[in-house]
Structure 1
Amino acid sequence: MRDVSVVGPLNIDLLITGQGPPNWESIPTWDGPSDMEMTAAGSVGYTVQNLARLGLSVRISSCLPDDPLGAFILDALQRAEIDTRSVNLVPDTVGGIGVYMLLFGSRKRPLTYRLPTHPMWPLEFSSEEIDTLLDAKLLHNGGYLHYKDAWHGATRDLFKEAKARGLITSLDSQFPLFAMSPPWIVGLEDVLPSIDIFMCDDGEARHLTAASSLDEAARILLDAGTQTVIIKQGDQGSTVYQQGWQHHQDAIVLGELVDSIGAGDTFDAGFLYGTLQNWPLEKRMLFASIAAGFTVTGVGGSQTMPSQTQVMIEMEKRESRFS
C-alpha cells in the first residue's frame, strides 16, 4: 500500500524572470533579454513532487502528450520517485503550458496558457485501475474545476468508492478554465460529500459560494458535505474550518519572496503529510505553512521544497509543544 494516490492534470510551466522594463506599458516595444525556466509539472505536479520530497510514496493518474514535453514531465516525476504507471501517453496531442511573466514580481496566475488537446486525466477507470489507485491511505485530486468533462462522472465515483473503502480523501478545487459565473460549487455538489479535506484559496472560496466573507464561504462548503475546509490566503496566512470551529495560521516568512508559484501546492502537500501522521489540525497548518514559506524563496513550485527534517527544525523554533 502506498501513502497517496493523486488524480489530476500535469503541464509545463514556463517561468520568465530577470530585469524587465520599467513598466507594463513598455512591454510592446521592449527588446531586452530575460531568463527562462521550464518546470514540471504544474499545480498537481508540484504537489506530488513535494509529497515525495517529504518521504511519502505517491502514485499519479493523469494524461500527457506522447511527445518531448510529455517525456520531460514524465522524467521529472520519475526522478522524484513518483509511480507514473497510471499516466497515459496520448499520441497526436499537445500538452498544457502555463506562461508566467515574473519580470514585475511574483504572480499567482499565468499570463497566458495553452490548454491540452488530450484529456487532463482519465475520464474512465477500469476496475483494476480503481483497485490500484485505492491501494493507498489517501486519495487526492487537484484542479477538479479545471476539467468540466470530469464533473459528475468517474472521478466523483472514484472518491465515493475511496470513502467506502476507508481512505482519507482530499480535493483542491482550483478554478474553471472557461467562463463560469459564481457560484462554482455547482460543479462540486455531488463530490463534496465524499471529501474529507477541501482546499481552495480565498478568491476561489468567494467564487465557489458567492459569499461575502470567508467565514460564510467556509460554512457553505461545510454544509455541502465536506468535513474540513482550508482557505489559503497568501501572505495573510490560512484558515482551517470545521463545523463550529476554526483556526487561523499566519504566513511563515523564511526569506525574501522570490516567486509564489506552487506555494499553495506545497501547502497542500504539507497539510496532507501531517494528516497521514494524524497530527492535530493546528500542527498540520503550521507544518504546511513552513513548507510553503520555504518554497517562495526560490523560482518554481518544487525546486526549493524543503525536506521533512528541515520543516521540523523550523517547527521546533516556533512551537515547542509540537516537538
Structure 2
Amino acid sequence: MNTPVTDDMEDAATQPVDVVLTGTVFWDLVMTGLPRIPANGEEIRADRMATAPGGVANLAVAASRLGVSTSLATTFGADMAGRFCSSMLAAEGIDLGSSRVCEGWTTPVTVSVTHAGDRRMFTHQSPAPVSTDDLLAGVRPPRAALVDLDQLHSGQGASWTRAAADAGTAVIADIGFDETGQWDRGVLDELAWCRAFLPNAVEAMGLTRRDSPREAARDLADTVPVVVVTDGLSGAWAVDAGSGEECHVGAIPVPADQVVDATGAGDVFDAAFTWATLAGWPLGKRLDLASLASSLAVRGLTGSMAAPGWAEIGAWWQGLGDSSDDQAMRRRFGFLADCALDAPAVTPAPLTIGWDL
C-alpha cells in the first residue's frame, strides 16, 4: 500500500512553489577519518560518522536552505530509514505532499567511506513501486524544476516536465555517471525542454567525445540555452548560447585539513546555481555563488546536512582577512555585500545522528 507522507496532498497540487524535484532519496551512512582503506578481512575504525537523507535530498535541502520554496516528489519505505529521511526533510521545511510511503519496499541505502579527499560508496536499491508520473500527477508547474536527464530519457516524468517547460518552468538538468562507458548521445534530445544543463567534466566529455571541459561546453551549447561543466579543482566552464557569452570561474580553494566529505558537493552547486538563476543574476555571478556554496559543503559531513545557508556564506565572507588571496576573494565576491547574509545559522534537523569518537 502506498500512502501520502503528509496530509496536504491537495495543497501540494494546487500551491505553486519555486522548485520541484524528483528522484531517489537514499539513507546515507557516511564514515570519515579513516587512516587508510582496509584490506580484505581487515577492520578499520572511523573517527566520525553521520547519517542523513542523500540522493535527491541533497539538492532539496541545499535549495531550501538558500530560501527556495522546495517540493520533493519521491518514495520512502515504511521502515526506519524511510521515517528517518522523511522526518529530516520535513524538518528542513521541504514540502513532501507529493511523496509516498510504500509498504513492503526498502528505502535505498548508501554507505559512503571518505578517505584522502574522495569517497567509496556501496548502495542497496530496488525499483520504486510508484512511478514519477504518478507522483507528479496534479502538481502545478513551478518556477523551476531540477531533473535527471537519464530519467527523462527513460520516460520518467517526461510528460509532466515537457508540459511544465511549455508553461514557463525553467527546467534545469543534470545527468548521472554512465557505468557502461557508452555515453548515449540520445539523452541529449531531452535538452530541447531544458533551460540549462549542468554535467561534470567526465559526463560532458563522455557525451560529446571532446577532450576538454571547455570544448565539451561549447559543443553542448548547440543543444541547450545554458550549459555549465563543472571540473572539480579546475573550476567550471559555462556557455550562454543565446548571448554567446563564455565564462570560466576558478574553484574556491579549501585547505586539505578542512575537507571532510565531498558527498553532494555537485548537488549544492546545482541548487545555488538554480537560486541565482531564479534571482536573475548574470552567468558569472551564478557560477561564483555555486562554486562558493559547493566549497563550503565539503567542510561538513553528508551532502544534505553540510549544505550551507546564507548565514554560512556570510560567515565565510566576513571571515576573509588581509592576505592577498583573501583580498582577491573579496574582490571576486564583492556582490555578496548586497545579499541578505544575516539569516539564522543552519541548525541540523533534530534527527541527525552524528558522533565524534
What is the TM-score normalised by the length of structure 2? 0.78
Per-residue Cα deviation, 1:257-291 (whole angstroms, up to 9, x for no partner): 22211111111111111011101011111111111
Is the radius of gyration larger for structure 1 or structure 2? Answer: 2
- Partner deviation per Cα, 1:197-217 (whole Å, 9 max, x = no partner): 111111111222222222332
Task: Report the counterpart of residue 3 of structure 1 in structure 2.
Answer: 18
**Does residue 169 of structure 2 align to residue 167 of structure 1?**
yes
Alignment partners' CA distance in 1, 2:330 and 2:164: 35
Residue of structure 1 equivalent to 2:313: 311
Residue in 2 aligned with 1:249?
A: 249
Give SS of 1:83's match: coil
| Letter aligned with residue 116 of structure 1 | S
Once the 2 structures are TM-superposed, how far is the Cα of residue 181 of structure 1 from its aligned partner? 3.6
Q: How does 1:89-108 map to 2 (within 5 A)?
A: 89-102=101-114, 104-108=115-119
The 3 A distance-change label for structure 1 pair 35 and 85 is farther
Contact 1:125 1:154 in 2 (8 A): no
Contact 2:264–2:304, Cα closer than 8 Å, also in 1 = yes
Letter in 2 for 1:220: D
Once the two structures are superposed, residues 78-119 of structure 1 have per-residue CA deviations (whole angstroms, 9 ceiling, x without a partner) of 0101001111222212222222222x32325x4321123425
CA contact (8 A) 1:141 1:171 kept: yes
Corresponding position of 1:12:
27
Judging changes above 3 Å, is the alpha-carbon distance between structure 1 residues 10 and 185 closer, same or farther for their aligned structure 2 residues? farther
Q: Is the 8 A contact 2:204 2:229 kept in 1?
A: yes
Q: Percent identity?
A: 25
Aligned equivalents of 1:318 and 1:59: distance in 2? Answer: 33
Letter of the aligned partner of 1:208 in structure 2?
Answer: L
277-286 or 9-18, larger mean C-alpha shift: 9-18
State the distance in 1 between where 2:201 and 2:266 align: 11
Query: Alignment RMSD, CA only?
Result: 2.4
Query: Partner amino acid for 1:249?
Result: V
Q: 1:50 corresponds to which residue?
A: 62
Offset at 1:309? 4.3
Do the aligned partners of 2:213 and 2:237 also contact (CA within 8 Å) in 1?
A: no
The corresponding residue for 2:343 is none
Partners of 1:90 and 1:38 lie apart in 2 by: 25
Q: Secondary structure at the match of 1:141?
A: strand
Counterpart position of 1:122:
131
User: Residue 232 of structure 1: CA displacement?
Assistant: 1.0
C-alpha distance in 2, partners of 1:59/1:156? 18
**Unaligned regions of 5+ residues in structure 2, if any?**
1-15, 318-328, 339-357
Tell me the distance in 2 between the aligned counterparts of 1:284 and 1:316.
16
**Higher RCO (C-alpha under 8 Å, 6+ residues apart):** 2
Which range is displaced more, 64-73 or 268-277? 64-73
Residues 17 and 321 (structure 1 numbering): CA distance in 2 closer, same or farther, change over 3 Å? Answer: closer
2:180 is the counterpart of 1:180 = yes
Amino acid at match of 1:304: A
1:240 corresponds to: 238
After TM superposition, the structure 1 = structure 2 runs for residues 111-150 of structure 1, keeping only pairs within 5 Å, are 111-119=121-129, 122-125=131-134, 129-134=136-141, 136-142=142-148, 144-145=149-150, 147=151
* 1:278-317 alignment, distance < 5 Å: 278-311=280-313, 314=317
- Cα gap change, 1:130/1:73 in structure 2, threshold over 3 Å: closer, same or farther? same
**SS at 2:214 equivalent:** helix
1: CA distance between counterparts of 2:51 and 2:35? 21
In structure 1, the residue corresponding to 2:133 is in which secondary structure?
Answer: coil
8 Å CA contact 1:78–1:84 kept in 2: the answer is: yes
Secondary structure, counterpart of 1:303 in structure 2? coil
Partner Cα separation in structure 1 for residue 207 and residue 291 of structure 2: 23
How far apart are residue 68 of structure 1 and its match? 1.2
CA distance in 2, matches of 1:213, 1:28: 37
Q: Tell me how far 1:63 sits from its aligned partner.
A: 1.6
The alignment's TM-score, normalised by the length of structure 1, stands at 0.86
Q: Are the aligned partners of 2:74 and 2:132 in contact in 1 as well (CA < 8 Å)?
A: no
Cα distance, 1:66 vs. partner? 1.9
Q: Distance in 1 between matches of 2:334 and 2:48?
A: 41
Gaps of 5+ in 1: none
* Whole-Å separation in 2 of the counterparts to 1:123 and 1:4: 16
Instruction: Give how far 1:220 is off.
Output: 3.3
Cα distance in 2 between the residues matched to 1:321 and 1:153: 40
